[in-house]
Structures are given as structure tokens and as C-alpha cells.
Amino acid sequence: MEPITTNISSRHFEQAAIDKGLSVTRSRKSLIISDGKSQVKVSNSLIGKQSPLTKVFNKKGASKLLLKTLGANVLEGYLFNAEERGRALEYAESLGWPVVIKPDDENKGRSVYVNVEGEDAFLTYFDRVAERYGTAFVEKQCEFATEYRFYCAGGRVLAVTRRVPANVVGDGTSSVASLVRAKNRLKKTRRYPRIKLDDEVTRVLDKQGLSMDSVPDKGRTVSLRSTSNISTGGDSVEVMEIIHPSYIEAMEAVFARLPDTFIAGFDVFIREMHEPASDSNWFICEVNRRPAVRMHIFPWEGQPKNIGKEIMEMLF
């Protein structure tokens, strides 16, 4: 049977529904899954009923305020209009360098600048974001950079993935450019977005004293981006079985406070995943109301999670 949709998340849910003996039909751009008594709508990665309140997660400033209200650990941040560059600089200095500058309503790591230090760099990247989007969100950069995606549905954490920024490993003979081409070929075979090359890659390489023509030593890991988004070439490592259970408990507690929310993806910075959660060793960076399943069902490393199967058991 040919799948109705080509979207990876929708196709995953569609196959899980078929495996359970449910009917799947198309309704415009969505799928309708039914057992003959009840039905659920699937729109790409969004499945089940979501409160209109969850749309606040499309805005980084508003979502941070909501998370603080819910008692979650969040990093300090504030949204500024383009003409408030002076105030924004003062705020950044009060937070302490480095800071992160990003759009209020963009996703997939687009136009996000991390490790921003000093007035000149701050104003350059603030203006770059503010001129394109009209506003810029300034945030304290977490002192520990390892980021995890918690996929939550129906009150439970179903998967935990460590997100690794785009990188290549030197072989002692190939240039960075050649290593990127080779890894992108491998990513294509494994259904992963390719590593995207842009100014951010040049900036990150320069901080390591490298360029695309450099030949890194054998075994040296070369970072290519500061952000860990899978959509820009990052890797995913499934860690559900080995992360300390206190983090799962903490995220389920936050998730439970969200009204009428069936799914959510929490991006969380954790200092050391094997140590118990405390008030100072984890912070929620962002929340995605339409979390994709690709990184969980096709992890670069680790055990794949059949999220669709678990969700169908919850819904039908």
C-alpha cells in the first residue's frame, strides 16, 4: 500500500495506524486516522488536539514567560524591537557575555547567533536579526552547551535525544570540504538533512583556526555550527535508556502543567545527563508544539523509538 503522504512524521503516524488496523484517509493537507468510533487529525508532525495556548510557543519571548509561570527552569532573555539596539546592548552587558541573539518566531536554527561577545559583535548580529525580522531576542547563553530534545505525548516522555551540532571527523588526508561532501552522501542514505554551508560555518571554523580547505588531523572532530538543529546538518543520539530518570520526571511535570496539550518537544540544556536534576543543572531553551519525529525514529546513534506505535495506543 502506497503511503498517502511524503512528510516523514505524517508517514510514520500513518504506518503506525495501519499496523494497528486503523483506517487512514486524506482530508485536504491532513490525514484522518479512525477506528470507526473516533478520529484524530494529523498535519505533518502535529497529531491530536492542541490548546490554542500552545501557539505561544511559536514566540520565544512569550513562551519563556509562560514557562517561568509554570515553574520551569529557563534562561534569562528579552525581546527587543529593531530601534532598541542601545537598550538591548545594555541588557546583554547586564546578563554577561556571551549571549545568544535569535529571531522571536523562527525555527530550525535559522538566524541564530551564539557565543556573541563584545559590543561590536553584538550590534552586528543584533542588527542582522532585527533588520530581517523587526525584532531580536537576546538571551543569556547557557554555560553548558549539550542540548537534548524530549518528545512528550499524552503526559509521558517517549524519547530523549542528544542533539549534536553539525560536524565532521578528520582522517588526516581530506579537507574539511571533502569531509562534508562525504558525510552529506552518508546523510542522504540515512534520511538526514545535509550539512548546510553558510556564513555560520565559516565563523565557527574560523574560531577553530580552520577553513574549508584545512586538513584536520585524524580523529579530530571539527564543529561546523554552533546550534544543534538536525535540519542544518546536526546528528541525533538517542539516550532515553541512559539519562538520569529525574530529568524525565522533571519534563513530565512541566508538560503536565500545559493545558490541553497532547504533544510537545522540549529543547533542554543539561550539564551532565547522568547526574540527578537540580535547579541549576538544566534549563529549557525552547518548546516546539509540532515536534518532528525524524531524530527519534532514525537516530544517528542509539535505539530507534517507535513513537507512532505508542501514540496510537494512547489514542485508540
CATH 3.30.1490.20 fits 76-140, yes or no: yes
Model pLDDT for residues 113-146, shown as the tens digit of each residue: 888 999 999 999 999 999 999 999 999 999 988 9
Torsion of CA 50, 53, 58, 64, to 10 degrees: -130
Model pLDDT for residues 211-262, shown as the tens digit of each residue: 999 999 999 999 999 888 898 999 999 999 999 999 999 999 999 998 889 9
| Band of pLDDT at residue 107, cut at 50, 70 and 90 | low
For range 175-198, the mean pLDDT: 95
Indicate whether 29 pLDDT > 90: no
The pLDDT value given to residue 4: 62
Q: Where are the domains of the chain?
A: 8-47, 52-57+144-163+237-315, 76-140, 168-225
For range 31-45, the mean pLDDT: 94
* Arithmetic mean of pLDDT over the chain: 93
The grid cell for 4 is: 498517502
| Band of pLDDT at residue 2, cut at 50, 70 and 90 | low
Superfamily covering domain 52-57+144-163+237-315: ATP-grasp fold, B domain (3.30.470.20)
- Do 76-140 and 52-57+144-163+237-315 fall under one CATH topology? no
